[in-house]
Amino acid sequence: MKVIYPGSFHPPTLGHLDIIRRASTLFDEVIVAVMLNPDKHYLLTDEDRICMLRECTREIKNVRVIADEGLLADLCAREKADAILKGLRDAADYTYEAQMAEANRVLGVPETIYITSAPEYRHISSTIASDVARHGGNIALFVPEVIAESVGKAFKR
């Protein structure tokens, strides 16, 4: 079974990596898709985010990192993915994700599969991680060690 794990990954966090690792043991292939939004101004460039995710997942053989600018449902069709994969931290995530799952279902992707976040990562989000980085806090508590330095630098540019 092939799943697509989409996101903005601005930046990739310890929570994202935990979901990717756990998914890689459950599915034949996990495609991590950096969904690009040209209307948004990001401090991390598209290339930064793709490189960081590749760096974090280098040792996981059945993970592939790609980027796409279109509709997630179209990407799933092109990649012949069986389902979308998402992480769920709490009820607020669920409310938002259930709406997206339904939208993606009517757009042609029948299933979205969720993996619940491990308790030690539930407080982590990209928004919080980027805020910590911007203010010079210990970013290694929020993002994978191999990218901590680059994330810290990028948000202080």
Beta bridge partners of 114: 86
- 3-class DSSP state for residue 8? coil
Which CB atom, from 72 or from 129, has the smaller least distance to ligand PNS? 72
Residue 123 annotated to the active site? no
Active-site hit among 10, 49, 86, 89: 89
Residue 153 annotated to the active site? no
Which CB atom, from 5 or from 27, has the smaller least distance to ligand PNS? 5
- Write down the residue that tokens 């495609």 correspond to: 31
For the bound state, the minimum distance from the C-beta of residue 22 to ligand PNS, rounded and expressed in Å, comes to: 17
Binding site for ligand PNS (CB under 6 A): 6-8, 35, 71-72, 100, 103-104
For the bound state, the minimum distance from the C-beta of residue 74 to ligand PNS, rounded and expressed in Å, comes to: 8
Residue 54 annotated to the active site? no
List alpha helices for the chain, DSSP H.
Answer: 14-24, 46-57, 72-79, 91-106, 126-134, 145-155
> What's the chain's Rg over C-alpha atoms?
15
| H helices, E strands: number in the chain | 6, 5
Residue 126 annotated to the active site? yes
- Write down the residue that tokens 């059945």 correspond to: 62
For the bound state, the minimum distance from the C-beta of residue 149 to ligand PNS, rounded and expressed in Å, comes to: 22
Positions marked active-site:
16, 40, 89, 126
